[in-house]
Structures are given as structure tokens and as C-alpha cells.
């Protein structure tokens, strides 16, 4: 599982840090830092964080265990 | 170009991308997303899959991420031939061929150049080789630096207080390491954001315990008998003992491999039109060679058609998407790359974001918050228009200012904002250094073609 946050888009709403605190963390009041290669057991939480980000700033792949094509979750 | 030709290109053409990083990968994905079904080859001199660089100076140094695990997520399958760990060494424009370091040649119908930049090394080669002297551009650099920081050096010395240098200094302080940072200008970030905002960055650094030295240059790095760096010598004659030195003096564009190719490529990057098509050295636009990302310089209608070179993550993504689209389109369907420049950084727990082109602004107005609180919006003006905005821990305002810049809204800012601070009502000089003097990696360069690269003899027309 890999992810990247478009921090130009990110508004620091901290939704992701609330849903997957081991992957996303607020650094100071507004800045987000994150682990781009989270552990497998974070999959569910990361998926929820991706879905909950109000500005769709998180792109992740490998979220769907079934494999096949790894469509990323922000495919426009 | 006929529609037939484009159809054939989309169906069975050959596209080669040189530079397999952020821009290269996003371009490849866009090509497939837009229906390109032909041969796609990605050439990259790094031995690994495309990875993300911004975390290398942030979460990776803070121990939150492994510097070797920042590979970029894939937006889709790209079904490409990967040639990794091999550099492109030459380009034959006429034969449409890229030469590789291993002697191979790859033919293309369309080429995308996305070779980015590399860290500017310490100027004295012998000193640069001392053990403990680092740069930070690749994931290997980051892994090396992270390992050295973890070993608990007595002091880290950062040369150059641009964004990357300041982020390193910030990470050092957060992990409890003593750190000194030297800067030729009056303050950190001056090249990117000007002296007024730079002064805030200076206060931030010193309050967090950075030994900040401004108006100085590093003159020499001193090694011990076994070749490890031991001390840093400064132009004010002071000497600072340090066993890790991070050279953070901006970047060099990876264009040397194009020397003699006939492309308009040089130390300032590769010039292209707004559609990402590269210029040849005569200033004539090519129609099969495209550029994107840090290595490109392209004209922007909003900023006086100046050629902008942006070392911004978001630009690499947006320009790659536009270049890819244009590579497989007919003239009328092509789009200009008129992305609004934007970047972020964070240091000492403060979120710094900007839109537009701050170094273009002569004047600055604080419209929200205050410099003293280090929580503010600064708006930059050029010839009566808003050209940029920067926020310290106030990012939610940026979108609003982005629209002001897009509209060419007047400067000084006219609207009254909810909080009226004393410093907010008057524009002041933004305090950018003389652009003809070198600064440390401003991230945005407003450039003309370097006269040193001139390959043409200029003959004025006779009437
Ligand atoms: C430590 C660090 C922190 C950053 N932080 C931020 C930030 O907070 N915000 C922000 O907006 N931006 C940030 N950036 C900038 C951002 O990472 C870049 O803008 C982005 O990586 C540009 O992507 P690119 O694909 O154009 O170039 P690059 O990522 O430089 O990729 C170019 C690739 O081409 C390869 N290459 C070069 N020459 C050849 C050749 N001849 N043949 C084959 N391959 C070649 C290179 O090795 C490299 O892999 C940061 C950069 C660094 C290094
Ligand atoms: S949820 Fe989205 S906007 Fe909020 S902090 Fe996370 S990435 Fe940023």
C-alpha cells in the first residue's frame, strides 16, 4: 500500500489523522505529515481516511486486497 | 498534423519518457488514461521505481517514514517498458532517437523530457568528498542523512537556508540535535519569500534553538586525519565544529545529456511553449519533444509571459498531465499549461503555503493575522496587481487569494478583512534581494535565456 497527499490541496482538516492516527499526524496546528508506506494492517483505516478527506487530497493504491489492476482511489 | 496521423500515433505510436520520477510517472498514467495504446518506455537513471521527494526532508527525517519507502502510488496500470538504472546520454532530434548509457538506443515518435534537477554539490570537490558531507535530493541521500542524524552527531551544520535547508534544521531541532545554519542573505527563505517574511522565518528558527548565522558564506570544510568532516569555516572568520554538514545550495538542472542535440536546453532548463513543446536552440518550437516538471521553463500568461521554472511538486504533476494530453492530440485539442504556481513547506511546526509568484512582487501587505504571531497572510503586489500570497498557519485563505491573482485584482488590497491589524493596512517593500545576485535556491526562477549558452550568431535584419 502506498499513498501520497497533495499538500497543496490539503486544508489541514485533520480528518485523516483522526481516522488513521498511525499514518497521518498533524505537525503543529495546520501542517500534515504522513507515512507514505503504511503497514498492511492500516489498510482499512487508510481507506476510510481517503474517503473522508473533504478535499480528496489523498491518493493511495493497493487499498483493495483483491489485487488485479491497482486503480488508485482518486482516479479522476 | 492530420487526424489520421494522430489516430495512428494513439494506436501504435512509440512514446519515450526520460526521467522516471514524479512528472514521468504522472505523464505515463495520463497517456494511458487518455487512450494511448502504443509502446511506452520510461527511462530513469535511478535504480528504483518513482518515489516522492517532499517526505525526504520531513517525515523521513523525523522518523515517521522510511526514506527508502516513499514510492508513489499508481493511479492506474501503465503497461510500460521500464529502463531503470540507466541514464539517457544523448538525443538525436533528426533521427528521433534517445541514446542510453549502456549503448542502447530507443526510437520515439514523441518524447517527454522530465529529468528534473539535482542537488548543487559543494563547490570544493575534495571537501565535498569528506565523510559526513551530505546533500538531500534522492532517497539514498535521505537514507544516508537519516542514518547520520540517528547516530547522534555532536552538531549538524546546514549550508543554505532555503526551504530544504530550513526543513532539515527544523527536523534536527525536533529530534534534539544541535544545529547551525548559515545563509548568505539576511534571513532564511529570502529568495523565495522576501526579507519581511524571511525575518519571521529567522525568528522561528532561532526560537527553536537553531544557531542561525546570516550574511555569511561558508569558505571551507575541514576534515580530520581519517577524512571525516570536523569543522566549518565561515567568511566572518568563525569556525563551527560539526560532524554532519548538509549542503543545501539549491539545484542544477539535468540538461547536460542534451548538449549538442539542438534543443534549447541549458543550465536554466529546457524552454518550452505553454503547450509543453520544447524549443530548439533557434527558438523554434518542436512538435514531438515535450518537457515537464522541474527541468522545464514555460511562459505564463498571468505573469507577463515570463518563463517560469518552478521546482514545485504540484507543477510537476500538472505540467506532466498537460504535456501527456498534448502529446497525443491534434493542435486544436491541445491545452496550455497555465497552472497557478503553488507550494507548501512546513518547519518548526508551522505550515507555510504559497500561491502565485512571490519573487515577482515588489511589495507586500499583511492582510490577515500578524507577523509577530507568525500566523498571517501576506499578499505580494507587482505593478498594481496581486501576483502572489503566502500564508503561515493560515492556509484556508489561499484559495481566495488564488482567485484574486487569477482575476488580476488590484494591489494594494482593497477589501477590508475581518481582522484589522496595524501592520495590515500598508504595503511595505517585500525585500527581495537584487535578482542579479545569487541566492540559495529560490524555487522559482524568472529567467531569460542565459547569454552564456548562445549557440546562434545574431545578425540584425538589414533594411
Ligand atoms: C527534499 C525535498 C523536499 C521537497 N519538498 C517540497 C515541498 O514541500 N513542496 C513542493 O512543492 N515541492 C517540494 N520538493 C520539490 C519536488 O519534489 C519536485 O518539484 C519534484 O520532485 C519534481 O519532479 P520531476 O519529476 O520534475 O523531477 P525529479 O523528481 O527531480 O525527477 C527527475 C528524475 O529524472 C532522473 N534523471 C535525470 N537525468 C536523467 C537522465 N539523463 N536519464 C535518465 N534519468 C534521468 C533523475 O534521477 C530523477 O529520478 C521537494 C524536493 C526535495 C528534493
Ligand atoms: S483529511 Fe484531507 S484535508 Fe484533512 S488533513 Fe487529511 S489530507 Fe488534509
Tens-place pLDDT, residues B333-384: 999 998 999 999 999 999 999 999 999 999 999 999 999 999 999 999 999 9
Q: Do B55 and A33 touch (CB under 8 A)?
A: yes
DSSP letter at B55 equals G
The mean predicted confidence, pLDDT, of chain B is 92
Any idea which residue has 503553488 for its cell? B342
Q: Does A29 touch chain B (CB under 8 A)?
A: yes
- In the predicted structure, residue A60 carries a pLDDT above the cut 70: yes
> Separation of B22 CA from ligand 1 center, angstroms?
7
> Which residues form ligand 1's pocket by a CB distance below 6 Å?
B 18-19, 21-24, 43-46, 53-54, 56-57, 87-88, 114-117, 136-137, 164, 254, 257, 293-294, 311-314, 316, 343-345
- Residue B421, pLDDT score: 59
Structure-model confidence comparison of residues B274 and B462, the more confident one: B274
Q: Does A2 touch chain B (CB under 8 A)?
A: yes
**Closest chain A CA to residue B171:** A27
Sign of the torsion angle spanned by Cα atoms B365, B367, B372, B375: negative
- In the predicted structure, residue B422 carries a pLDDT above the cut 80: no
- In the predicted structure, residue A73 carries a pLDDT above the cut 90: no
* CA-wise closest residue to B288 among B81, B14, B36: B14
- Residue B446, pLDDT score: 47
Picking from A2, A10, A34, the nearest residue to B71 by CB comes out as: A2
Complex ipTM value: 0.89
Q: Do A28 and B393 touch (CB under 8 A)?
A: yes
Q: Do A36 and B64 touch (CB under 8 A)?
A: no
Q: Per residue in B151-201, pLDDT tens? A: 999 999 999 999 999 999 999 999 999 999 999 999 999 999 999 999 999
Section B28-45 average pLDDT: 98
Question: Which ligand places an atom closest to the C-alpha of A51?
Answer: 2
- In the predicted structure, residue B395 carries a pLDDT above the cut 90: yes
> Separation of A7 CA from ligand 2 center, angstroms?
8
**Band (B238; pLDDT cuts 50, 70, 90):** very high
Choose the most confident range, by mean pLDDT, from A64-73, B1-10, B93-102. B93-102
- In the predicted structure, residue B149 carries a pLDDT above the cut 90: yes
Q: Does B70 touch chain A (CB under 8 A)?
A: yes
Alpha-helical runs (H) found in B106-213: 125-128, 139-150, 163-174, 190-207
- The enclosing H or E element of B24 equals helix B22-33
Picking from A2, A69, A75, the nearest residue to B72 by CB comes out as: A2
> Which residues form ligand 2's pocket by a CB distance below 6 Å?
A 5, 10-16, 24, 32, 53-55, 57-58
The answer to whether B266 and B445 are in contact (CB under 8 A) is: no
- Residue A65, pLDDT score: 65
- The enclosing H or E element of B33 equals helix B22-33
The alpha-carbon gap from B76 to the nearest alpha carbon of chain A, in Å, equals: 5
The mean predicted confidence, pLDDT, of chain A is 88
- In the predicted structure, residue B104 carries a pLDDT above the cut 50: yes
**Closest chain A CA to residue B70:** A36
- Residue B426, pLDDT score: 84
DSSP string over B240-284: EE-SEEEE---EEES-GGGTTSSBSEETTEEEB-TTSEEEBTTSP
- The CA distance from B244 to B228, in Å, is 9
- Residue A69, pLDDT score: 44
* CA-wise closest residue to B233 among B142, B127, B132: B127
The alpha-carbon gap from B272 to the nearest alpha carbon of chain A, in Å, equals: 25
With beta carbons under 8 A apart, name residues in chain B contacting A59.
Answer: 73, 75
- Residue A64, pLDDT score: 81
Section B320-337 average pLDDT: 95
Amino acid at each position: 500500500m502506498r499513498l501520497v497527499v497533495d499538500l497543496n490541496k490539503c486544508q489541514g482538516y485533520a480528518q485523516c489523522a483522526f481516522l488513521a492516527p498511525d499514518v497521518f499526524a498533524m505537525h503543529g496546528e495546520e501542517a500534515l505529515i504522513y507515512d507514505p508506506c503504511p503497514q498492511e494492517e492500516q489498510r482499512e483505516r487508510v481507506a476510510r481516511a481517503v474517503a473522508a478527506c473533504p478535499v480528496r487530497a489523498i491518493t493511495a493504491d493497493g487499498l483493495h486486497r483483491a489485487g488485479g489492476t491497482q486503480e488508485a482511489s482518486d482516479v479522476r | 498534423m492530420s487526424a489520421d496521423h494522430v489516430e495512428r500515433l494513439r494506436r501504435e505510436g512509440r512514446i519515450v519518457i526520460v526521467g522516471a520520477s514524479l512528472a514521468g510517472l504522472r505523464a505515463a498514467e495520463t497517456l494511458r488514461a487518455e487512450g494511448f495504446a502504443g509502446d511506452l518506455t520510461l527511462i530513469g537513471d535511478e535504480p528504483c521505481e518513482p518515489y516522492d521527494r517532499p517526505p525526504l526532508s520531513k517525515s523521513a527525517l523525523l522518523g515517521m517514514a522510511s526514506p527508502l519507502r516513499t514510492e508513489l502510488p499508481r493511479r492506474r496500470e501503465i503497461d510500460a517498458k521500464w529502463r531503470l538504472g540507466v541514464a539517457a546520454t544523448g538525443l538525436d532530434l533528426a533521427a528521433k532517437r534517445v541514446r542510453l548509457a549502456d549503448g542502447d538506443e530507443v526510437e520515439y515518435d514523441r518524447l517527454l523530457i522530465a529529468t528534473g534537477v539535482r542537488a548543487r554539490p559543494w563547490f570544493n570537490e575534495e571537501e565535498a568528498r569528506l565523510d559526513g558531507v551530505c546533500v538531500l535530493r534522492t532517497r539514498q541521500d535521505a537514507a544516508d542523512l537519516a542514518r547520520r542524524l540517528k547516530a547522534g552527531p555532536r552538531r549538524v551544520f546546514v549550508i543554505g537556508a532555503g526551504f530544504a535547508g530550513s526543513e532539515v534544521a527544523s527536523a534536527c531541532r525536533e529530534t534534539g540535535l544541535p544545529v547551525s545554519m548559515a545563509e548568505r542573505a539576511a534571513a532564511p527563505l529570502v529568495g523565495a519569500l522576501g526579507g519581511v517574511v524571511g525575518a519571521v522565518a529567522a525568528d522561528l528558527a532561532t526560537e527553536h534553538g537553531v544557531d542561525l548565522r546570516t550574511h555569511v558564506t561558508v569558505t571551507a570544510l575541514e576534515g580530520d586525519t581519517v577524512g571525516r568532516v570536523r569543522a566549518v569555516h565561515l567568511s566572518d572568520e568563525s569556525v563551527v565544529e560539526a560532524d554532519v554538514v548538509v549542503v543545501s545550495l539549491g539545484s542544477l538542472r539535468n540538461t547536460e545529456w542534451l548538449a549538442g542535440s539542438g534543443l534549447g536546453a541549458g543550465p536554466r532548463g529546457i524552454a518550452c511553449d505553454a503547450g509543453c513543446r520544447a524549443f530548439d536552440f533557434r527558438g523554434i518550437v518542436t512538435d514531438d519533444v515535450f518537457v515537464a516538471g522541474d527541468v522545464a521553463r514555460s511562459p505564463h500568461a498571468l505573469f507577463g509571459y515570463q518563463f517560469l521554472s518552478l521546482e514545485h511538486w504540484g507543477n510537476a504533476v500538472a505540467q506532466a498531465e498537460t504535456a501527456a494530453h498534448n502529446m497525443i492530440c491534434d493542435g486544436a485539442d491541445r491545452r496550455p499549461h497555465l497552472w497557478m504556481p503553488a507550494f507548501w513547506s512546513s518547519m518548526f511546526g508551522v505550515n507555510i503555503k504559497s500561491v502565485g509568484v512571490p519573487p515577482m512582487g515588489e511589495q507586500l501587505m499583511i492582510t490577515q493575522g500578524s507577523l509577530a504571531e507568525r500566523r498571517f497572510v501576506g499578499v505580494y503586489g507587482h505593478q498594481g496587481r496581486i501576483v502572489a500570497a503566502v500564508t503561515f498557519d493560515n492556509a484556508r485563505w489561499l484559495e481566495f487569494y488564488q482567485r484574486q491573482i487569477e482575476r488580476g485584482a488590484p494591489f494594494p488590497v482593497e477589501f477590508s478583512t475581518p481582522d484589522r491589524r496595524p501592520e495590515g493596512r500598508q504595503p511595505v517593500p517585500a525585500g527581495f534581494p537584487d535578482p542579479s545576485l545569487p541566492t540559495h535556491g529560490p524555487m522559482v526562477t524568472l529567467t531569460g535565456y542565459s547569454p552564456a549558452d548562445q549557440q546562434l550568431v545574431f545578425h540584425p535584419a538589414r533594411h
